[in-house]
Every structure is written in C-alpha cells, then in structure tokens.
Amino acid sequence: MRRKIVAANWKMNKTIPEALAFVDEIRPKLRQDEEAELVICPPFTALYSVGMAIKDTCLKLAAQDVFWEESGAYTGEVSPVMLTDLGCEYTIVGHSERRGYFKESDMDVNRKVRALLDHGIKPIVCVGETLEQREAGETDELVTRQVEMALDGVGMNDVSSVVIAYEPIWAIGTGKSASGEDANRVIGLIRKTLKAIYGDGIANSVRIQYGGSVKPDNIAEFSRQPEIDGALVGGASLKADSFLAIARG
C-alpha cells in the first residue's frame, strides 16, 4: 500500500512571521495518525524557522529547489548539504515554473535528483505538459521522456525514495484542474514507464501525486483514482484549513 503524500508548495510566498503563523494555526489541528504524509515546502528564507517550529509535529520539511554541487562559487544557489543541515526530508525538483522562468532542462533536473539522493533527500520530481503540447497530442511522449530523463542513472535502491508529481502546466494556478480520469490516465502511464525501467515491484511502490489547481472542493475527484497518491498543492496550501482539508480529502 502506498501512503498518500500531500505537499504544500508555498512558492515565493510567506515571510518568516507568516510562515510561523501557519504552523501555529495547523499544529493543534494535526492528528497523531494522519492518513497522508504531510509536507510543507516554504521558501528558502523560512526553512530554518519552519523546520524548528514543526519539529514536534508530523509535518515534514521540504525545499522548493536545490543546486547539484555541494559547495563552491555558485552565487545565490543552495546545496543539498545545506538542505540536509536544515532538516529537509524532501525537495521539489523541476517544477514547471523553474523549467519555464529559469530555463531548467531535463538534464538539470536529473543532476538535481541525483545530488539529492546522494545526500539522502527525497526528490519530488515535477513533470507535465503545456496546453499547446496537450492539444498537439504530445502529452504521453513528453511526460514519458521527462520521467526517463529525470531518473537517468538513478538505481533500484534509490528510486523508491523518489516522488513524482504530475502537474499539467495549463492547470497550475489557473483554477482549471485536469479531470480525475485524465490525471489518473497520465499517472498510470508514468507508472508504466517506471515498470519498463525498474520492474513491477518498484513501479507499484513509487508515489505519484497530481498537482494543478487542487482545492478542498475538488480533491475527492483525485483521491478516488487508483493511480493517484496525493497532491502537490500551490495556492490552496497557503491557508492551514484549506491545506488540511485537502490532506484529508
């Protein structure tokens, strides 16, 4: 049985006091036995404070990006060693906003994935097509290639720590989510890709989330799909109640 994983991708939102206010609000509402694994991805600037504040809770800490080198002359970058230092258990890699605005390639994503795994951090690897690619019928080919390239050189032992997030770009922040059936179909295809590389056992154990305009009132559509193992949530994760409703939905 795969445990659901629901992650709050705060993107470039929340100052330290705002981030801590979220933790204060959610803490008393958390149950010992949350069905889903709950992950908070604050901006780099709030990682330390949030990490300290959630220490005694079931919430896990994640960064939104990483650079693949351990240290050196890379102004502005943050290394996997530094994220380990902060207590990050997960890190998002290859979000479409990074691929789009910051021109991250599949090769960059692969380097980041491998660097994280080398340091014991679990990558949440984002893949997904644009509206034009979808309309041109390129979704399956593109998503398969993104998955294969992200995992290039990742061995059997490491791949079970990887989480994949299928996020159709046209659904991110637009209020226009994919249908549950459609997301389930593409996620099934991702699982097939994993099967071809790693075999049945691993393909059935890797968790694959859906992301893109997930909200409390549409989460049920995704959680009832057999292939979907939780959600990567942007806008609707900024409020504690809405994040919790999604996590439990």
Phi, psi of 183 (to 5 degrees): -60, -40
Is residue 94 near ligand PGA by the rule CB under 6 A? no
User: Among all chains, which residue has been given the structure tokens 């995992």?
Assistant: 151
Distance in Å, CB of 236 to ligand PGA, minimum: 6
Active-site residues, by number, are 95, 167
Phi, psi of 174 (to 5 degrees): -105, -10
Residue from 40, 47, 113, 172 touching ligand PGA (CB under 6 A): that is: 172
Cα-based distances in Å from 159 to 28, 121, 155, 213: 34, 12, 6, 27
The set of residues, in sequence order, having a beta carbon less than 8 Å from that of 68 and lying 6+ positions away, is 80, 108, 111, 112, 114, 115
Q: Which of 1, 40, 22, 46 is closest to 204 using CA atoms?
A: 1
Is residue 212 near ligand PGA by the rule CB under 6 A? yes
Stretch touching ligand PGA by CB under 6 A, among 44-52, 113-121, 190-198, 206-214 = 206-214
Residue from 146, 213, 218, 225 touching ligand PGA (CB under 6 A): that is: 213
Residue from 94, 180, 234, 249 touching ligand PGA (CB under 6 A): that is: 234
Residue from 51, 123, 235, 249 touching ligand PGA (CB under 6 A): that is: 235
Stretch touching ligand PGA by CB under 6 A, among 105-113, 134-142, 186-194, 212-220 = 212-220
Query: For the chain, how are helix, strand and coil distributed in percent, rounded to 5?
Result: 45, 15, 40
Q: Which residue's Cβ has the minimum distance to ligand PGA?
A: 234
Provide the strand spans (E) within 87-244. 90-93, 122-127, 163-166, 207-211, 230-233
Residue 163 contacts residue 206 (beta carbons within 8 Å) = yes
Please, which residue, 6 or 172, has the CB nearer to ligand PGA? 172
Residue 124 contacts residue 90 (beta carbons within 8 Å) = yes
Stretch touching ligand PGA by CB under 6 A, among 23-31, 127-135, 196-204, 208-216 = 208-216
Residue from 65, 104, 158, 167 touching ligand PGA (CB under 6 A): that is: 167
Stretch touching ligand PGA by CB under 6 A, among 17-25, 129-137, 144-152, 210-218 = 210-218
| Distance in angstroms (rounded) separating the CA atoms of residues 135 and 35 | 36
User: Among all chains, which residue has been given the structure tokens 């490491």?
Assistant: 158
Is residue 146 near ligand PGA by the rule CB under 6 A? no
Distance in Å, CB of 32 to ligand PGA, minimum: 27
List residues binding ligand PGA (CB under 6 A): 9, 167, 172-173, 211-214, 232-236
